[in-house]
C-alpha cells in the first residue's frame, strides 16, 4: 500500500509539472525573458524607448493562430496547377485590365523609370492582394514577434521584426496603421519590413514613403524591387510548354540553363505545339508537379519573381496573370 501511495504521489507531481497551466506558465516565463533580450537588441539598433514601449506593450505570449497559418501556406499545400487556377481567374484578369486602364500615367512613369513592364507590376498587385482588396488586418508587430520567437525561422523573422520597429521609429507609419498579413507583409504588394527599407520609394513626391495609402508609391516600390533584383524588360517570364519526347531528368530544374535553340532540338515546343521563339535566350525547364504536371520554360525574369517569393507556384501565377491581360504580348 505504501508503494501504491508513493506512485500516486509521483503521478500527482508529474501532473502538476506538466499540466496545461504549468506549461503555459513556463512558456510565458520563457517568452518574457526572450522579449527582454529582444528589447536590448532593439535598443542597440537605435530604436527609441518610446517606440519599444508602444509596440511591445501587452505582449504576453506568442499567438498560436500565426504559427498555425505559417504551417499551412498555400504554396506548400497546393499543387502548382491548383494554385495558379485559383488565382488566375477570369475575374482577376478582368480587374487587372481595369487597373491598367485606371492608372496609365503612373504605370507609364514607373515602366519608363524602372524598366519593368507594367503588366507584371499589375499582376504582382493582383496575386499579392487582389489589387489591394486583401492587404491583411493583422497587427504586424505581434505577428512578427510570434514568428521570431518560434524556432523554425526565428532568425529571419527577428530581422524583419527589427526592421518593422525601425519603420515605426522613423515615423513612416503609425502603429495602428501597421497591419498586414499573419507573416508581417504590408500594403497592396505585401512588402516585408526589410523590403520596405531596401526598395520602397516616394513616387508621388509628398515626402513620405507610403505603400499603405499611395498607389504611386506602391507601384514604384514594386517596380524598384524587381529592377534591383535583375529584371529585364526585353523579356517575358517564361511560357508553358509541351514535351514531344522523353528528356533526361538531369535537364529538369532551375540548375540547368540551355539556349532556346537547344530546347527546340530536344523536342520542347510551345503549349500549342508551335516552335519555340528564335531568340538568344537561356531558359530552364521546370515541371513542379511531377512528370504528369504542366511544364514551363522559364527565363531570368522568373528568377527575379522568385526573389520576391521563393515559390515556383507564385512566380508562375504572376507570369500567367500578366500574360493574360492582353492578346498581343512581348516575347
CB 259 within 8 A of CB 276: no
Query: How much is the pLDDT for 327?
Result: 54
Query: How much is the pLDDT for 252?
Result: 97
Query: How much is the pLDDT for 153?
Result: 85
Query: How much is the pLDDT for 22?
Result: 39
Query: How much is the pLDDT for 75?
Result: 63
Query: How much is the pLDDT for 58?
Result: 86
CB 222 within 8 A of CB 125: yes
With H, G, I as helix, E, B as strand and everything else as coil, classify residue 152.
coil
Query: How much is the pLDDT for 1?
Result: 53
CB 237 within 8 A of CB 318: yes
Pick from 318, 331, 330: nearest CA to 80? 318
Query: How much is the pLDDT for 137?
Result: 94
Contacts of 308 (CB under 8 A, 6+ apart): 124, 225, 226, 229, 314, 315
Query: How much is the pLDDT for 19?
Result: 43
Query: How much is the pLDDT for 6?
Result: 56
Query: How much is the pLDDT for 328?
Result: 43
The single-letter DSSP state of residue 276 is P
- In the set 63, 128, 160, 323, the catalytic residue is 128
For this structure, is 128 an active site residue? yes
The burial of 210, by beta-carbon neighbours within 10 Å (0-12 exposed, 13-18 middle, 19 or more buried), is given as buried
CB 226 within 8 A of CB 248: no
Sheet-wide strand order for 258-259: 258-259, 282-286, 295-298, 238-243, 268-270
Rounded-to-integer distance, Cα 48 and Cα 196, Å:
20
Query: How much is the pLDDT for 331?
Result: 40
How many residues are given for the chain?
A: 331
Stretches in the chain below the pLDDT threshold 50: 11, 13-27, 328-331
Which stretches of the chain are assigned E, i.e. beta strand? 138-139, 179-180, 238-243, 258-259, 268-270, 282-286, 295-298
Query: How much is the pLDDT for 24?
Result: 41
Amino acid at each position: 500500500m505504501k508503494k501504491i501511495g508513493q506512485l500516486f504521489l509521483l503521478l500527482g507531481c508529474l501532473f502538476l509539472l506538466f499540466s496545461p497551466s504549468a506549461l503555459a506558465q513556463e512558456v510565458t516565463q520563457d517568452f518574457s525573458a526572450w522579449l527582454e533580450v529582444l528589447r536590448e537588441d532593439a535598443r542597440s539598433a537605435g530604436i527609441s524607448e518610446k517606440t519599444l514601449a508602444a509596440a511591445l506593450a501587452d505582449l504576453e505570449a506568442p499567438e498560436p493562430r500565426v504559427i498555425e497559418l505559417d504551417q499551412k501556406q498555400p504554396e506548400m499545400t497546393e499543387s502548382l496547377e491548383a494554385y495558379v487556377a485559383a488565382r488566375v481567374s477570369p475575374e482577376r484578369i478582368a480587374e487587372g485590365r481595369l487597373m491598367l486602364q485606371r492608372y496609365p500615367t503612373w504605370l507609364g512613369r514607373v515602366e519608363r523609370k524602372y524598366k519593368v513592364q507594367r503588366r507584371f507590376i499589375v499582376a504582382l498587385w493582383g496575386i499579392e492582394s487582389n489589387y489591394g482588396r486583401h492587404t491583411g488586418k493583422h497587427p504586424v508587430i505581434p505577428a512578427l514577434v510570434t514568428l521570431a520567437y518560434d524556432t523554425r525561422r526565428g532568425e529571419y523573422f527577428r530581422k524583419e521584426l527589427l526592421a518593422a520597429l525601425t519603420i515605426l521609429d522613423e515615423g513612416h507609419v503609425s502603429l495602428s496603421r501597421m497591419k498586414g498579413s499573419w507573416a508581417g507583409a504590408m500594403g497592396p504588394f505585401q512588402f516585408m519590413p526589410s523590403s520596405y527599407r531596401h526598395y520602397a520609394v516616394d513616387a508621388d513626391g509628398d515626402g513620405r514613403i507610403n505603400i499603405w495609402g499611395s498607389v504611386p508609391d506602391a507601384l514604384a516600390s514594386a517596380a524598384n524591387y524587381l529592377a534591383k533584383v535583375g529584371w529585364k524588360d526585353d523579356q517575358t517570364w517564361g511560357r508553358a510548354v509541351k514535351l514531344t519526347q522523353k528528356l533526361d531528368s538531369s535537364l529538369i530544374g532551375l540548375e540547368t540553363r540551355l539556349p532556346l535553340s537547344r530546347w527546340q532540338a530536344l523536342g520542347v515546343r510551345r503549349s500549342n505545339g508551335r516552335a519555340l521563339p528564335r531568340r538568344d535566350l537561356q531558359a530552364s525547364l521546370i515541371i513542379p508537379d511531377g512528370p504528369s504536371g504542366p511544364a514551363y520554360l522559364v527565363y531570368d525574369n522568373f528568377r527575379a519573381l522568385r526573389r520576391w517569393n521563393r515559390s515556383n507556384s507564385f512566380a508562375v501565377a504572376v507570369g500567367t496573370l500578366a500574360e493574360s491581360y492582353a492578346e498581343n504580348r512581348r516575347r
